[in-house]
Amino acid sequence: MDTVPKIPELNKRILYTLLILVIYRFGVFVPVPGVDSEEILKVFTSQGKSFFDIINLFSGGAFERASIFALGIMPYITSSIVMSLVTKTFPKLEEMQKDQLGKKKISQYSRYLTILICFFQGSLLVTALQTGLGTGAEIVFNPGASFFIITILTLTAGTFFVMWLGEQITNNGIGNGLSLIIATSIIAGIPSATGNLFNFVKIGQLNVLTIILFLIIMLIILYSIVYVERSFRKIPIQYPQKTKGRKVFAGQSSHLPLKINPAGVIPPIFASSILLLPLTVFNYIDVPSINNFAQTFLNSSLFYNSIFAVLVIFFTFFYTGMVIKPEEMSDNLKKGGAFIPGIRPGKNTTEYIKLIMSKLTVIGAVYLAIVCIIPAILNAKPFSLPFYFGGTSLLIVIGVTLDTIQQIESFLISSNYDQMSGKKIKKEPSRFNLR
């Protein structure tokens, strides 16, 4: 760390990143016009689990304050995920993505889709606000069509402003801007959660032994996430010897790294959205039986977490199959003259990679499911351990932290190399994204 102060460029990027994140956090406390932010905060804290919890989590509490950043960056993340899946599904779009102009068009399509998602999620939010989040509380001062339109436009503009802030961090700061904004939003809840722990200890709801047990389990979960996220299955690769003129170059050995969890945090995000969105909509349907079913399902920890774990496993297999192409890996090895020792190039190599990926996907799916449901299970009865952050939150925060540290290290290595060679410092591109 003694090297950091000697690199003004790195210091500037870190300070610029912090400044943008501070601007974002200030915006979280700016409410949309015509809303009683104190009333919505009271109602929100008394509500049960809902789809809005996901948006509130990733917006750093902006949603429960009816902030201009209430929708956060999630509409764009959802749009990017959908476009990624659509691109992999349609060969024309996949071919388009290979050139720079095609990438720009697909990025533009993602922004158009973001607007539609903002309108959809914004309409749900505005409807919920005008009905007092189902409680009949007077949250909106002057409900009506004008409030509906103005609020949706404000929320959409807020989302695009957050997108712009993220792009500024990516271009001029350090790390992936959008990922850092999400991680910052999640981390922003740590002080209040810590305060709640101390309050529970003071009033006698929790004892010291429970807190110690909580810390031990939390450390085990954190260590497990870091270990798995940094783990790879290395498939050995051999390059044949080459002859150039009279010189014979010996064959080289390398490896093909396959990540244990290539799907990242996409399966938990998809599973949460698909599971909670219809149940939240059911709450606004005036049919008692449907309302009762939604409330029973959301409040049943065992049933809810079981379905959630199944969906996480399903989306892990689905998304991994979409983004990992064993055929392409095999073709690239063949074109480069490389081969896996003991495996014939071509079809046999493809089948071998498929077999390895199947085993890794099973491990990754089970790992994601366990990480996602353990905090929720331990937080429920009879354990009642004070877990205030779900597995998805921990995955995002740790993933972004590891990536940012890796980029700073790459910047330091690049700086030392450039100082020795007399070249200008170049920024290392981000390796982390919420695909």
SS (H, E, C) 178-231: HHHHHHHHHHCCHHHHHHHHHHHHHHCCCCHHHHHHHHHHHHHHHHHHHHHHCC
Q: Whole-prediction pTM value?
A: 0.76
Is residue 210 included in any domain, yes or no? no
Which of the four pLDDT bands, split at 50, 70 and 90, describes residue 115? very high
- Look at the alpha carbons of 205, 186, 77, 319 in this order and tell me if their dihedral is positive or negative: negative
Tokens of 147: 């409030």
Residue 297 pLDDT class (50, 70, 90 cuts) = low
d(CA 142, CA 8): 52
Asked if the structure places residue 75 within a domain, the reply is: yes
Burial label for 65, CB within 10 Å (0-12, 13-18, 19+), is: buried
* Overall number of domains in the chain: 1
Which of 83-97, 246-260, 287-301, 343-357 tops mean pLDDT?
A: 343-357
Q: How far apart are the first and last CA of the chain?
A: 31
Token pair belonging to 117: 């998602």
CATH number for the domain including 19? 1.10.3370.10
Could you tell me if 399 and 265 are in contact, meaning their C-beta atoms sit under 8 angstroms apart?
yes
**% residues pLDDT > 70 (the chain):** 77
pLDDT at 161 over 90: yes
Position 227 in a domain: no
Percent of the chain with pLDDT over 90: 8
In a domain, 198, yes or no: no
C-beta of residue 45 within 8 angstroms of C-beta of residue 141: no
- Burial track 181-194 (b if 16+ CB lie within 10 A, e otherwise): bbbbbbbbbeeeee
List the domain range (segments joined by +) for residue 93. Answer: 1-189
- Cα–Cα distance measured from residue 322 to residue 317, given in angstroms and rounded to the nearest whole number: 9
Does a structural domain hold residue 20? yes
Highest-scoring range by mean pLDDT, 57-66, 220-229, 291-300, 373-382 = 220-229
344: which residues sit within 8 A by CB, 6+ positions away? Answer: none
CA separation for the pair 238, 337 (Å, rounded): 9
